[in-house]
Amino acid sequence: MALKKVRIQDAVGMVLGHDMTKIVPGEYKGPAFKKGHIIQKEDIPHLLNIGKEHIYLFELGEGQLHENEAAERLAAAVGGTNTFFKEPSEGKVQIVAKQAGLLKVNREAVTKINSVNYIVLSTLHSNLLVKKDEPLAGVKAIPLIVDRQLVEAAEKIAGEYQDIVAVKPLQSLKTGIITTGNEVFYGRIQDRFGPVLQEKIATYQAVFSGITFQPDNAEKISQAIMDYVHDGVEIIIVTGGMSVDPDDVTPDAIRATGAEVITYGTPVLPGAMFMLAYLDKIAILGLPACGMFSKITVLDLVFPRILAGERLTKQDFAEMGYGGLCKGCEECVYPHCPFGK
Condensed to tens digits (0 to 9), the pLDDT of residues 209-218 reads: 999 999 999 9
The pLDDT confidence band at residue 106, using thresholds 50, 70 and 90, is: very high
The pLDDT confidence band at residue 78, using thresholds 50, 70 and 90, is: very high
Which of 198-230 are b and which e, b meaning 16 or more Cβ less than 10 Å from the residue's Cβ?
Answer: eebbeebebeebebbbbebbbebbbebbeebbe
Residue 45: predicted pLDDT: 87
Residue 57: predicted pLDDT: 67
Residue 231: predicted pLDDT: 97
- Mean pLDDT (the chain) is 91
pTM: 0.85
Q: Is the pLDDT of residue 83 over 70?
A: yes
Q: Is the pLDDT of residue 1 over 60?
A: no
Q: Is the pLDDT of residue 2 over 70?
A: no
Among 35-39, 87-91, 283-287, where is mean pLDDT lowest?
35-39
Residue 176: predicted pLDDT: 98
Domains in the chain (CATH in brackets) are 2-59 (3.90.105.10), 64-168 (3.90.1170.30), 174-319 (3.40.980.10)
User: What is the per-residue pLDDT across 240-254, written as a single tens digit (0 to 9) for each?
Assistant: 889 877 678 999 999
95 residue type, one letter:
I
Residue 15: predicted pLDDT: 66
The pLDDT confidence band at residue 56, using thresholds 50, 70 and 90, is: confident
Q: With beta carbons less than 8 A apart as the criterion, state whether 212 and 220 touch.
A: no
Among 85-99, 123-137, 310-324, where is mean pLDDT lowest?
85-99
**Distance between CA 136 and CA 40 in Å, rounded?**
36
| Beta strand 92-97 pairing with 83-85 | antiparallel
User: What is the per-residue pLDDT across 279-290, written as a single tens digit (0 to 9) for each?
Assistant: 999 999 999 988
Q: HEC states along the chain?
A: CEEEEEEHHHCCCCECCCCEEEEECCCEEEEEECCCCECCCCHHHHHHHCCCCEEEEEECCCCEEEHHHHHHHHHHHHECCCEEECCCECCEEEEEECCCEEEEECHHHHHHHHCCCCEEEEECCCCCEECCCCEEEEEEECCCEEEHHHHHHHHHHHCCCCCCEEEECCCCCEEEEEEECHHHHCCCCCCCHHHHHHHHHHHCCCEEEEEEEECCCHHHHHHHHHHHHHCCCCEEEEECCCCCCCCCCHHHHHHHCCCEEEEECCCCECCCCCEEEEECCEEEEEECCHHHHCCCCHHHHHHHHHHCCCCCCHHHHHHCCCCCECCCCCCCCCCCCCCCC
| Strand order, beta sheet including 135-141 | 83-85, 92-97, 135-141, 119-123
The pLDDT confidence band at residue 191, using thresholds 50, 70 and 90, is: confident
**Distance between CA 187 and CA 264 in Å, rounded?**
29
